[in-house]
Amino acid sequence: MTKTMTEGRARLFASLTRSAEEGSLDRREFLALSSILGLTLATGLGAIPGPAVAQTPKRGGTLKVGQQILPINDPRIYDWPQKSNVARQFCEPLVRWEADGSFTPSLLESWEVSDDAKTYVLKVRQNATWTNGDAFTADDVVFNIRRMADANVEGNSMASRLNALRNGEEKTAADDAIVKVDDFTVQLNLRMADITLIPSFGDYPALCVHPSFPDGGDLATAPIGTGAFELVTFEVSGKAVLKRRENGKWWGGEALLDGVEFIDLGTDEAAFASAFSSGEIDMNDESSAEYVELFETQGLVRETAVTATTMVARMNTLAEPYTDPKVRKAVQMAVDNAIVLELGLGGLGTVAENHHVAPIHPEYLALPVVSADPKAAIALMTEAGHADTELELISLDEGWLATSSAVIVGQLRDAGFKIKSTSMPGSTFWNDWTKYPFSTTNWGGRPLGVQIYAVAYRTGEAWNESAYSDPVFDATLEQALGIFDPDKRRPLMGEMEKMLQDSGVIIQPFWSQLIMHRVEAVKGYQRHPLREMHLEAVWLDR
């Protein structure tokens, strides 16, 4: 990087440090923003207090995890964290999003970002090898970033995250956008500024695959990876078995566990309670509000993450009657978000504001409170000519999404809306989750608000389930993506929050606590804000 770039980054770091000292930026936000810039502990991150050091770990044993076993075909099309939790044990990302909010090197050794956020220099880890013995080099980084950026692949949400590598309407990365400088250096040249690139490389669909991995491939049958474990067996809806990579060939040394087993117990949490009691599992993936108390009476340890995890009841703007903004606003106005939080999630969270940016996001701007108004809502629905139109809310049939959906339907009925509720198992629901006219989905948190907007609300993106499209929103987002300083980005975020809120495309009632449980013997595990499981340093005290 040039001297000017270095000075610019230093000025920004000084500004972030002042904001942290003044209290306008908390530790999590400071860590996230500083590490995105490629600033290390040596540049000052160590001055912020960190978590306590754990006791001396033991080696050996097999960790048994209760979690759905979903297909692990191609990481770039993953749409559910459970898929990556299995694959992540043997395939790794370039960057890791840590539970404390920071971004640390994984298959990258370090990175530098230009002042204008248009040039990224990626330094590739020089001691990583694939499980087939091949060295991991810059060629592998180029291969993976190009395949992640390919918008021709149906369901590839990574393409939206790497939109800045493509020119105009092109579906693949520009030739000069991803350049191999030498065997362990890659330079990215963006067509527009994008501060979310490093966080995107740490998202769960960003796991790297071997260059031999074909289009349409399946990691279950081609499990070549760079991680601390190796895949032994895999069965959808059954069990995934992994063993420690042998002879210290993982770049990080060796995992402490002999192995990991992921066991699919379905979605009925009563089965999890029974499995904990019998010793069949050591930890679960998620605990709903209804089962928190039961799990804790079993003597289990509760782990909770600070998150921007949420649910949305979204209306597809391409489906009738939700093409009419009056209908969308009427539906939104009829629902009291605080009631959905209390009855749907047992109060385990905070009330949200129908714009999908959380108070923990550094660029969040609080908008004036908009209260529910059922009488005005049905009046607006009548004005739109749809007072007698029967709506249908589609949801999962179990868990807090089902409960929260029922609360929303109940409030709409109480307001005078004609509405029916349709629930279905996840195996059916998730096949068409972006296509329903009106449905509820859950969204994992991301460290930056602009990340969520780029993936979920920018025109035409794979995960834009509401089909929301506003050229002013898109232009404002493009501008915000180029601004590192959250204080300068915040006014633009406020504009986008208001645009999305006013559009009525979502009821977004709460920010949930992300809770899981484990037995006391599981050590070294920290709940991640996106349900990610990092198990290399986990151990068993038994």
Looking at 321-386, list the stretches that DSSP marks H as alpha helix, in order from N- to C-terminal side.
325-333, 337-344, 374-383
Which of 6-10, 215-219, 337-341, 523-527 has the least mean pLDDT? 6-10
Residue whose pair of structure tokens reads 């969204």 in the numeric block: 443
Provide mean pLDDT across the span 477-494: 94
Q: Which of 91, 97, 72 is nearest to 82 (CA)?
A: 72
CA distance 31 to 48: 9
CA distance 329 to 325: 6
Three-state DSSP state, 233: strand
pLDDT at 21: 61
Provide mean pLDDT across the span 100-114: 92
- Positive or negative: CA dihedral 63, 69, 70, 71: positive
Provide mean pLDDT across the span 325-333: 98
Q: 44 pLDDT band (50/70/90 cuts)? A: very low
pLDDT at 146: 98
pLDDT at 1: 45
Residue 290 has pLDDT above 60, yes or no: yes
CA distance 43 to 327: 52
CA distance 378 to 375: 6
CA of residue 449 relative to chain centroid, distance: 11
Q: 41 pLDDT band (50/70/90 cuts)? A: very low
- N- to C-terminal Cα separation, the chain: 50
Q: 225 pLDDT band (50/70/90 cuts)? A: very high
CA distance 140 to 144: 6
Q: Which of 443, 437, 404, 500 is nearest to 412 (CA)?
A: 404
Query: Mind listing the pLDDT tens digit for each residue in 449-475?
Result: 999 999 999 999 889 999 999 999 999
Provide mean pLDDT across the span 64-71: 96
What are the chain's domains?
1-50 (no CATH), 74-216 (3.90.76.10), 229-304+516-540 (3.40.190.10), 310-512 (3.10.105.10)
Using CA atoms, how far residue 410 sits from 228, 237, 504, in Å, is 48, 33, 19
Query: Mind listing the pLDDT tens digit for each residue in 430-445?
Result: 888 889 999 999 998 8
CA distance 409 to 393: 7
pLDDT at 430: 82
Three-state DSSP state, 172: coil
pLDDT at 33: 66
Q: 131 pLDDT band (50/70/90 cuts)? A: very high
To the nearest whole number, what is the mean pLDDT of the chain?
90
Please name every residue paired with 439 in a beta bridge, in sequence order, or none if there are none: 314, 394
pLDDT at 4: 42
Tokens of 471: 């050229």
For the beta carbon of residue 94, count every other beta carbon within 10 angstroms: 25
CA distance 316 to 309: 21
- What is the signed CA dihedral for 254, 103, 98, 74, rounded to 10 degrees? -70
Report the b/e string of 238-270 with b at 16+ CB within 10 A: eebbbbbbeeebbbbeebbbebbbbbbbebebe
Q: Which of 440, 448, 433 is nearest to 492 (CA)?
A: 448
Residue 85 has pLDDT above 90, yes or no: yes
Q: Which of 322, 360, 324 is nearest to 451 (CA)?
A: 360
pLDDT at 23: 62
Q: 20 pLDDT band (50/70/90 cuts)? A: low
Write 27-30 long-range contacts (CB < 8 A, 24+).
27/100, 27/101, 28/100, 28/101, 28/306, 28/360, 29/101, 29/360, 29/361, 29/362, 29/486
pLDDT at 250: 96
